[in-house]
Amino acid sequence: MFAKRTEFLKASEVRELLKLSDVNDIISFGGGLPAEESFPVEEMREICSEILEENGVKSMQYAISEGHVGLRKIIVKLMAEKGIHANIDDILITSGSQQGLDLTAKVFLDEGDTILCESPTYLSAINAFKPFYPKFTEVDMDEDGLIPADLIRKLENSSNVKFLYTVPDYQNPTGRRMSLERRKSIVEIANRYNIIIIEDNPYSELCFDGRKLPPLKSFDTQGRVVYLSTFSKTVCPGYRIGWACGTQDIINKYVLFKQGTDIHTNFFAQMQIAGYYEKYDIKEHIRSNVEIYKSRRDAMVAAIEKSFPEEVEYTRPEGGMFLWVTLPECLNTKELLLKSLKRGVAFVQGSAFFPNGGHENTLRLNFSGLNEEKIAKGINILGNLLKEELYAERLAGC
């Protein structure tokens, strides 16, 4: 009765955990929730009132698939600040950045095409692409992101490569950032091998340490980078407003599939986001959000240093929302998760982020959604569990 693709699609454990964290008072490092304290609730009341007073009917009627013109103009400016020269016809408003991934699959993927991606990569990108039956070839990464030499190796040994999918800034799940040098080098490799780059960049504004780096698309001279982003991490995720930016030729294809997918994105919400950017100081807003996130990152790193066993490795992200933990290979984070949940702490097992499986000794921690106190408490519980598990494994000869 069901399509074949239903067989390999499993429930997102992050989502299932989110449901769990709705009903229990669990400390969840599992989701990817922005800090609630960062939402401009009061400002939105004013904006809603204004929209309904000035453009009530328009905000409730059907609209064009491409998206609200005023919002696209705002995005053109955001892009220009990052060194990306676009006009409004190069922008499509999407229902969250997640829809950018669904449309990417529809526009580019034939069955059996190869997707190159970081190892590990964003779980929900895997879930967006998989229904279209691609193959995934994982490319090695280190602290500076995707490794160009390994990318070339994989390109030489793969057939039907359609695109490279990359999250260069504070990657979900590792929190790593791709270096400037590698950004240039990877665009150059894409030119040489004639492949598309899907640059998924939701976290670039959440930069705690050092300076922001220009996106890969800013080095794109051949129109082969599609840049996806979202207002979920700068305003709020509940409105599901993201965008795709690419050459008009490519964006036109995205628009075509957008029509069959959901006709257009909620128009009232597009006006809400546009209204926020027009009336308020977004840079100041992001600065104050970054303070919250930085403090939470610091709290998590400090708690890990204090309570995790020495054998455990972890990233120290300079931005974003996630931190990546690698345990000794004898530990299995699927089993660990069950034990951890019993003690009231959730995380996501790392294997979910590897499209071809494996890496059962890794896990992802989110630090943006909980306050410092809960972070310290939860990491301490997790640290104690890890010590016990390692001790038991050592007795067993690990």
CB of 109 to a copy of itself, least distance (A): 5
Strands 114-118 and 135-139: parallel
Please check whether residue 92 is in contact with residue 255, taking contact to mean a CB–CB distance below 8 angstroms: yes
* Helices of type H across 194-317: 248-262, 267-279, 282-307
Please check whether residue 177 is in contact with residue 205, taking contact to mean a CB–CB distance below 8 angstroms: no
Residues 151-190 that bind a copy of itself (CB under 8 A): 162
Given candidates 27, 28, 31, 345, which one binds a copy of itself under the rule CB under 8 A? Answer: 31
Q: Return the half-sphere exposure (C-beta side, CA atoms, 13 A cut-off) of residue 114.
A: 14
338 binds a copy of itself (CB under 8 A): no
Q: Which residues pair with 226 in a beta bridge?
A: 198
- Sign of torsion over alpha carbons 202, 206, 212, 213: negative
The footprint of a copy of itself on this chain (CB under 8 A) covers a number of residues equal to: 82
Closer to a copy of itself by Cβ: residue 15 or 294: 15
CB of 385 to a copy of itself, least distance (A): 27
Given candidates 29, 30, 65, 185, which one binds a copy of itself under the rule CB under 8 A? Answer: 65
Nearest to 234 by CA among 271, 280, 301, 181: 280
Closer to a copy of itself by Cβ: residue 131 or 214: 131
Strands 27-28 and 345-346: parallel
Closer to a copy of itself by Cβ: residue 249 or 284: 249
* Choices 61-69, 143-151, 341-349, 351-359; region in contact with a copy of itself by CB under 8 A: 61-69
In angstroms, rounded to a whole number, what is the distance separating the alpha carbons of residues 94 and 74?
A: 15
User: Could you tell me how many residues make up the chain?
Assistant: 398
Residues 101-120 that bind a copy of itself (CB under 8 A): 101-102, 106-111, 113
CB of 137 to a copy of itself, least distance (A): 18
Residues 239-298 that bind a copy of itself (CB under 8 A): 239-240, 253, 255-257, 259-269, 272
Give the amino acid at 386. Answer: L
First to last CA, the chain: 46
3-state DSSP call for residue 230?
Answer: strand
Nearest to 198 by CA among 233, 224, 172: 224
Q: Which residues pair with 145 in a beta bridge?
A: 142
CB of 224 to a copy of itself, least distance (A): 9
11 binds a copy of itself (CB under 8 A): yes
Residues 68-87 that bind a copy of itself (CB under 8 A): none
Closer to a copy of itself by Cβ: residue 179 or 252: 252
CB of 211 to a copy of itself, least distance (A): 29
25 binds a copy of itself (CB under 8 A): no
Residues with Cβ within 8 Å of 159's Cβ and at least 6 positions away in sequence, in order, are 114
Residues 186-245 that bind a copy of itself (CB under 8 A): 196, 232, 235-240
CB of 357 to a copy of itself, least distance (A): 18
32 binds a copy of itself (CB under 8 A): yes
* Choices 123-131, 203-211, 320-328, 350-358; region in contact with a copy of itself by CB under 8 A: 123-131
22 binds a copy of itself (CB under 8 A): yes
Q: What angle do CA 68, 74, 78 make, to 5 degrees?
A: 135
